Chain A
Amino acid sequence: MEWQKKLYEQEMSPPADLWPSLAKQIQQEQGRLTSRLQEAEAAPPSHVWLQIAKSLPAAADRQPGILRSLYRYSIPAAAALLGLLLLKYAMLEGRFFSPATTSLQRLRIPLRTGQPIAPAPKPLQEPAARTAHPFSLHDAKPQHSRVLAREALSYPGSNYVEVCDVRQEVCRRINYKLEYMAACLPAQGASSYPIACRRELLTWLEQIDKSNYIPAPGHLFDIVELVSLLSSE
């Protein structure tokens, strides 16, 4: 019908002053992305440790060495918390942590920011299927982090080795999630796509993004880019 065509092709001039402010915003966006990528390579400022210690009094009191070690190895605080959250999940599910899964060898895992993460020696439990929902952090609210961290560290046998393993598991999970998400993106020419699935993934990735978790520079870039992509499509 004619009116539909007219509506589709209609043009309306936006206010003339919109472009200057938009141009400024775009340049700021570019600058922000660049600085975030640079931050991924930069060492955190020295006062950050004090903030971490303050936010995790119970955990720091019990096993300060673990957290200091994590910090010394340039693991962002949020990543440590995320790792501890996963440790909590692991304990609850009784899956990928058992005495048999820890070993001295894993203490040698490179942990400095920017270094590639060594592949996990052996996946402890792969998600059942690519289409299944592999993991969820929906319940991991920031206000629970301290409690979970305390509980995680009070778990018998919890130590630095295990936390390293957790971090590696986080990395593996993120990789898996990225793959999963890529599989969910619409095929070329597809007229529909799983909105609910993408929404869920977006939520998850935003949590990761906001947490400043930095598994590797390439991953950070992927996450920023993918969050942007999912936000717009």
Chain B
Amino acid sequence: MSASDTDIIQGCLANDIRMQEALYQKYAARMYAVCLRYAGNAEGAQDILQEGFVKVFRNLSKFRADGSFEGWMRRIFVNTAIEHHRRRHPLADPFSEREEQIEEGSWNALDKLALEDLMKMIQSLPEGYRTVFNLYTVEGYSHQEIGEMLGIQEGTSKSQFARARKALLERIKGHV
């Protein structure tokens, strides 16, 4: 029987290496998928995964058991991915663009794609598009929140998202 999150957390707080590994084994695959979505390639994703887990262990005592542990972890990994993005663009704002309206495209086509193909398409998006797309559609942040997280205007987030969507739909057309 696998240990519960509570047992694992308690063990990790006691610096029990077996419980640390249990935590890693339980969540690594799911968090690695998050990292891959943001990183665009396996090497970058592994860096984010490693750094994210270090932060998880370092801050485990801050976790309040009134929410989902996985949700708490996921937020750490998403923020780590954003930090990686910032490190690569310390000065320039890759998101800085005028807001533009792009007509609504159908998302339904994405349902027909295999998950692996969808993942590849997301990874192939330019980094700015990819980050906003992931934050908005998968993590569920609002454009205002994304603006605060990335240090960009809300309108820029909307614009980036519209462009990401357009680029994705074009890739799907090419794929079909």
Contacts and interface: CB of A to CB of B under 8 A. Distances in A.
A228 B50 contact: no
Given A14-B28, A21-B50, A233-B76, A6 B59 contact: no
A61 to B, nearest CB: 39
A27 B21 CA distance: 12
Interface string A95-114: 00000000000000000000
Contacts of B76: 232-233
Contacts of A19: 21, 24-25, 28
Interface in A1-51: 1-4, 6-15, 18-19, 21-23, 25-27, 29-30
A229 B26 CA distance: 23
A55 interface: no
A26 B20 contact: yes
A195 B151 contact: yes
B46 A14 contact: yes
A232 B63 CA distance: 12
Contacts of A3: 107, 110-111, 113, 115, 118
Contact of A14 (B32, B58, B151): B32
Interface stretch (B1-9, B90-98, B141-149, B158-166): B141-149
Interface in A154-195: 188-189, 191-195
A132 interface: no
A192 B138 contact: no
| B interface: dominant SS | helix
A168 B141 CA distance: 43
Contacts of B49: 14, 18
B62 A7 contact: no
B69 interface: no
A12 B110 contact: no
Nearest to B27: A11
Contacts of B36: 12
A13 B54 contact: no
Contact of A229 (B29, B59, B115): B59
A63 B24 CA distance: 56
A131 interface: no
A188 B64 contact: yes
Contacts of A9: 30
Contact of B79 (A1, A196, A232): A232
Contacts of A6: 115, 118
Contact of A11 (B29, B144, B148): B29
A7 B118 contact: yes
A218 to B, nearest CB: 15
B136 to A, nearest CB: 10
A9 B119 CA distance: 12
A96 to B, nearest CB: 34
19 contacts: A3-B107, A3-B113, A3-B115, A4-B137, A7-B119, A7-B137, A12-B36, A14-B28, A18-B46, A19-B21, A26-B57, A27-B17, A189-B67, A191-B142, A192-B145, A193-B148, A228-B55, A232-B59, A232-B79
Interface of A: 1-4, 6-15, 18-19, 21-23, 25-27, 29-30, 188-189, 191-196, 228-229, 231-233
Interface of B: 15, 17, 20-21, 24-25, 28-30, 32-33, 36-37, 45-46, 49-50, 53-59, 62, 64, 66-67, 75-76, 79-80, 83, 107-108, 110-111, 113, 115, 118-119, 122, 137-138, 142, 144-145, 148-149, 151
Given A3-B113, A10-B33, A189-B67, 18 more contacts: A1-B108, A3-B107, A7-B137, A9-B30, A11-B29, A14-B32, A18-B28, A19-B25, A26-B54, A30-B15, A188-B66, A191-B145, A195-B151, A231-B83, A232-B56, A232-B79, A232-B80, A233-B59
